[in-house]
Homo-oligomer: A and B are copies of this chain.
Amino acid sequence: MKRRDFSVEYRFANRVDHLKPSVIREILKFTGMPGIVPFAAGNPAPEAFPVEEVTRISGKIFAETPIDALQYSISEGDPALRETMRGFMRGRYGAFREFDELIITAGAQQVMELTVKALCDEGDTLICENPSFIGSLNAFRSYKLNLVGIEMESDGISLEKLEQALKAHKNTKLIYLIPNFQNPSGLTMSGEKRKAVYELAKRYNTLILEDNPYGETRFAGEDIPPIKSLDEDGIVVYAGSFSKVLSPGLRVGYAVAPTEIIAKMTVCKQVSDVHTNIWAQKICGAFMTECDYDAHIQKIKGIYRRKAELMMSLMDRYLMPKITYNPVQGGLFIWARLPEGTDMLEFCRQAVQKKVAVVPGSAFLSDESAPCRNIRLNFSTPTDEQMTEGMEILGKMAAEI
């Protein structure tokens, strides 16, 4: 890195000075290496992508309306896709009211970015589940929010601790929740708890940011309506995504929220990327209206049910009872717990050396330096053979703990 004598010291903004690349993204680079068992990944299973349908739709776009797909569009998103998704939110969840509006985003990740950019000043408190999704936590950190993580119970966030936090932090702007198959814990919030959390948010005059990337992947048990379906008061910002139902490479997601909030998020989107790739929006729109969405979702559920059940049976066989885990009914991840006294980070390092990539649980904590003996395991990316191979290796490691 040679430069001329003149030497520059780059001064970065305070807000990002402390931010590091996501541990997961860094590990993903590893994950692509040959011979590595990719339990650290978060990629949907390639066989879940509707390749034929997307190929056909894309061909049709270029045959019929190529200019529309290549020209500038509007920041709110493709009008047809927006109308489709309004209908989807109404019909599937009863979660689009008169006061709501919808914006198309570059994946659900952008919903997090736009929501906090529009609503939160530096130092405002954002309450989240602890652990929670690292990508969202880093987005919140990049706006210098005060992250307050709340303990999880088997049916979701602890109500008692949540209320304590709301009392203690008067400047709470948002409660960030992933009610279905939470990443990384795999836990789902019960219907009663969703109502209770909603009432708490209302009572303490704060908004909820509900992230639902995995809702459509439930392969066992009964659907529970999202918190947004309870939102008669206009206090919930809902984040949806095409990443797990169609394709993550498209980078298409959406937010549903009261019109005033969507308007401000739209201004933030304008200055961020003008609008989302328009071809991808048209792919999503045509997929929702022209293809058999329900049949596709059934197919995806079948793929993930089989993979999750195989993974859990292997964990029962090789890891239990030393390494325990939360059983899952959807999502892509299993949250496993090492025995008391284990050095979790050292365990992860040794696993990578033995060619099994797992994500250290501490990456998902609101305070990454807090003690943690969890690891996150992904079951959507590895093949059956990789799963078996990886679990055998982790099993041997567990036996030596």
Contact = CB atoms under 8 A, between A and B. Distances in A.
B251 A3 contact: no
Nearest to A243: B72
Nearest to A142: B271
Interface in A145-175: 173
A46 B67 contact: yes
A205 B11 CA distance: 11
A353 interface: no
Given A110-B272, A233-B6, A267-B19, A49 B66 contact: yes
A132 to B, nearest CB: 14
> Which among A28, A42, A106, A232 has the highest number of chain B CB atoms within 10 Å?
A106
Given A29-B74, A249-B71, A232 B3 contact: yes
Given A49-B67, A139-B272, A233-B6, A249 B264 contact: no
A327 interface: no
A202 to B, nearest CB: 6
Interface stretch (A85-93, A277-285, A355-363): A277-285
Contact of A10 (B21, B247, B258): B258
A13 B140 CA distance: 13
Interface string A237-274: 00000010001111100000011110110111011111
Contacts of A59: 59, 62
A288 interface: no
A234 B8 contact: yes
B58 A54 contact: no
Contacts of A117: 13, 15-16, 142
B268 A142 contact: yes
State the copy count for this chain: 2
B273 A98 contact: no
Given A71-B248, A251-B274, A266-B21, A55 B62 contact: yes
B233 A267 contact: no
A86 to B, nearest CB: 15
Nearest to A68: B249
Contacts of A266: 21
Given A10-B261, A13-B117, A280-B279, A4 B233 contact: yes
A118 interface: yes
Kindly list the 5 A-B residue pairs having the minimum CB-CB distance in the complex, ordered from nearest. A70-B247, A106-B273, A139-B271, A277-B277, A249-B278
Interface of A: 1-4, 6, 8, 10-16, 19-22, 25, 28-29, 42-44, 46, 49, 51, 54-55, 58-59, 62-63, 66-75, 98-99, 105-107, 109-110, 112-113, 116-122, 135, 138-139, 141-142, 173, 202, 205, 232-235, 243, 247-251, 258-261, 263-264, 266-268, 270-280
